Amino acid sequence: VLRTRITTNRGGGIALDLADATGTPLGRIDTLTLRPVTAEQLDTTPTHDSLFHLDWRTLPAPNPSTVNADILEVAASTIDGDVPAAVQTALADVLVQLQEWLTADEQDGRLVVVTRGAVATGGTEQVTDLAAAAVWGLIRSAQSEHPDRIVLIDTDGSLEDLAALAGLDEPQLAVRAGEVLVPRLVRTTVPAEAALPPVTGPVLVTGAGGALGGLVARHLVTAHGVRDLVLVSRRPSTTLVEELRELGAEVRWASCDVTDRDALAALIGELTASDGPGLAGVVHAAGVVDDGVLESLTPER
Ligand SMILES: NC(=O)c1ccc[n+]([C@@H]2O[C@H](COP(=O)([O-])OP(=O)(O)OC[C@H]3O[C@@H](n4cnc5c(N)ncnc54)[C@H](OP(=O)(O)O)[C@@H]3O)[C@@H](O)[C@H]2O)c1
C-alpha cells in the first residue's frame, strides 16, 4: 500500500509525500508540474470500442495460499416487504461489524464477507437479496479504503471452506455449483446500426439545478434531441432554463421537494393525467451527499 499526501506549495506547484500503510515516509516529490492539454493533443475521434460489461468467469484450478481470515456472514433477507428498511438494517449491521473488525484486527488478517443472492453471475440467475446487493456496494468501497484486507464472496453454499479463498488475490468472488467465479470486464460489441429510438414526450429530470442534473438535461437536448423537459429541484435555475430554451427545447420548471411524497405525487399526477403530456422518461439526479470514510460512517449516513 502506498499512501500519498498531496499539498499545494507556495509557487502553485503540487508536492507529494509518499508513505507506506503504517505512515513510514518512503519519498517526497517537491514539485509536480502539470501542463494544460489542448483539445488537439487529445485524440477525440469517437470510437465504438469503449463500452464494457461485467462477465463472471470460472477461475481455472484456484490455488489459494493460506492466509489468516475471519468470516462475516451476512444474514439473509428477502426482497418482499419493506426493501429500504431491510437494506438499511443489513448495511448498519455490516458497518458495525466491519468497524469492530478494523479496530480489533492486527493488520495482517483478512475479512471474508459472505453473502447469498447478492449478485447475478449470468444466464437466468437473478439477484434474490437486494439488501445483500447493497452490502456489496458498501464492501467494495471499504475494499478501496483498505486494499487487500477484505474479500467478498457470494455463495450458493456449494463450497465448504470459504476462508481458503481469501488467499486467491481476488477481491470479489462467487461460488456456483462448486466452481469459483471471478468478475472480469469484457468488451461489449454494439451493432453498427444500433440507435436509440427518438424520444417523444417530456422527460423529467430531478436535481436539474445541480451539476449532474444540468449535464443530463443538456445532454438530452443536444445528443438525443429531447425537445420537452420538466426540470425539478427545490430552487429554480433560470440560467439553465434559458440556455436549454436557446438550444430549442421547451422547458418547464417545477419547484418540488422530491422527499415530499405528496408534492411529488401531485407533480407526476399532473404530468401523467389523461389530458396531460405523459412522460417519456425520468432521470433522477437529485441528492445530497453526506459521506465519509468507513471509520467515520454511521448507520444514519
Ligand atoms: N457529481 C458527481 O460526480 C457524482 C458522482 C456520483 C454520485 N453523485 C450523486 O448524484 C447526486 C447529484 O449530484 P450533483 O453533483 O449533481 O449534486 P449537486 O450539484 O449538489 O446537485 C444536487 C441537486 O439536487 C437538488 N436536490 C437536493 N435535494 C433535493 C430534494 N429533496 N428535492 C428536489 N431536489 C433536490 C438540488 O437542488 P435544491 O437544493 O435546489 O433542491 C440540486 O439541484 C447526488 O446524490 C450525488 O451524491 C454525484
Q: What is the DSSP letter of 268?
A: H
State phi, psi for 198 to the nearest 5 degrees.
-65, 145
Task: Name 252's bridge partners.
Answer: 230
CA of 211 to the centre of ligand 1 (A): 7
Nearest of 67, 61, 60 to residue 163 by alpha carbon: 67
Q: Cα separation of 208 and 258, whole Å?
A: 12
6 alpha carbon, distance to own chain's centre: 25
| Residue 208 and residue 94 share a domain | no
pLDDT of residue 43: 73
Q: Yes or no: say if 118 and 130 are a contact pair by the CB < 8 Å rule.
A: no
User: Is the residue at 68 inside a domain?
Assistant: yes
CA of 80 to the centre of ligand 1 (A): 29
Q: Yes or no: say if 229 and 250 are a contact pair by the CB < 8 Å rule.
A: yes
User: Is the residue at 177 inside a domain?
Assistant: yes
CA of 220 to the centre of ligand 1 (A): 18
What's the Cα-to-Cα distance from 216 to each of 7, 47, 184, 222, rounded to whole Å? 33, 21, 29, 10
CA of 68 to the centre of ligand 1 (A): 42
Q: What is the DSSP letter of 76?
A: P
CA of 147 to the centre of ligand 1 (A): 29
Q: Whose CA is closest to atom 26 on ligand 1?
A: 286
Q: Yes or no: say if 69 and 151 are a contact pair by the CB < 8 Å rule.
A: yes
pLDDT of residue 46: 62
Q: Cα separation of 92 and 294, whole Å?
A: 12
Q: Cα separation of 91 and 298, whole Å?
A: 10
User: Is the residue at 38 inside a domain?
Assistant: no
CA of 53 to the centre of ligand 1 (A): 27
User: Is the residue at 139 inside a domain?
Assistant: yes
CA of 207 to the centre of ligand 1 (A): 5
Q: Whose CA is closest to atom 3 on ligand 1?
A: 212
User: Using a 6 Å CB cutoff, which residues line ligand 1?
Assistant: 206-207, 209-213, 232-235, 257-259, 285-289
Q: Which domain holds residue 231?
A: 203-284
Q: CB under 8 Å to 259, separation ≥6 — which residues? A: none
| Residue 175 and residue 63 share a domain | yes
CA of 259 to the centre of ligand 1 (A): 13
Atom of ligand 1 nearest to the CA of 286: 24
Q: Cα separation of 95 and 135, whole Å?
A: 9
pLDDT of residue 73: 96
Relative to beta strand 281-284, strand 203-206 is parallel
Q: How many domains does the chain have?
A: 3
User: Is the residue at 29 inside a domain?
Assistant: yes
Per-residue pLDDT of the chain (301 residues; tens, 9 = 90+): 899 999 988 777 899 999 998 999 999 999 888 888 887 887 766 666 778 999 999 998 777 677 889 999 999 987 678 888 999 999 999 999 999 999 886 667 899 999 999 999 998 999 999 999 999 999 999 999 999 999 999 999 999 989 889 989 899 999 999 999 999 999 988 777 667 777 888 999 999 999 999 999 999 999 889 999 999 999 988 899 999 999 999 999 999 999 999 999 999 998 888 776 679 999 999 999 888 899 999 998 8
User: Is the residue at 228 inside a domain?
Assistant: yes
CATH number at residue 99: 3.40.50.11460
Q: Whose CA is closest to atom 42 on ligand 1?
A: 210
Q: Whose CA is closest to atom 21 on ligand 1?
A: 210
Atom of ligand 1 nearest to the CA of 213: 16
Q: Cα separation of 43 and 52, whole Å?
A: 20
CATH number at residue 249: 3.40.50.720
User: Is the residue at 101 inside a domain?
Assistant: yes
Ligand 1 pocket test, candidate residues 237, 289, 291, most atoms within 8 A of CB? 289
Nearest of 75, 74, 170, 152 to residue 112 by alpha carbon: 152
User: Is the residue at 214 inside a domain?
Assistant: yes
Atom of ligand 1 nearest to the CA of 291: 47
Exposed/middle/buried for residue 299 (C-beta within 10 Å: 0-12, 13-18, 19+): exposed
pLDDT of residue 38: 85
pLDDT of residue 35: 84
Atom of ligand 1 nearest to the CA of 214: 16
